[in-house]
Amino acid sequence: MDRNEATQRGQRNDLNRQKVIGMKLKRLYADIAEEPIPGSFLSLLEQIDEQVRA
């Protein structure tokens, strides 16, 4: 294997790693985005809205 082939193989491996990481991050984000907003946080947002309106 010459140097050029080794470089190309390394680049393909890097791209594959990036794709795997990207897919895992997308799954993680989707899971987090689907979680409900805690009631205490909603209550805090409502309090802030009331203060802004006043």
* pTM of the predicted model over 0.85: no
**Cα 16 from Cα 21, distance rounded (Å):** 9
Tokens of 40: 């205490």
Res. 4: pLDDT tops 90: no
pLDDT at 37: 92
DSSP 1-54: --HHHHHHHHHHHHHHHHHHHHHHHHHHHHHHHTSPPPHHHHHHHHHHHHHHH-
Confidence of residue 16 (pLDDT cuts 50, 70, 90): very high
Res. 23: pLDDT tops 90: yes
The one-letter code for the residue type at 22 is: G
**Cα 11 from Cα 7, distance rounded (Å):** 6
Which region among 7-11, 12-16, 25-29, 35-39 has the lowest average model confidence (pLDDT)? Answer: 7-11
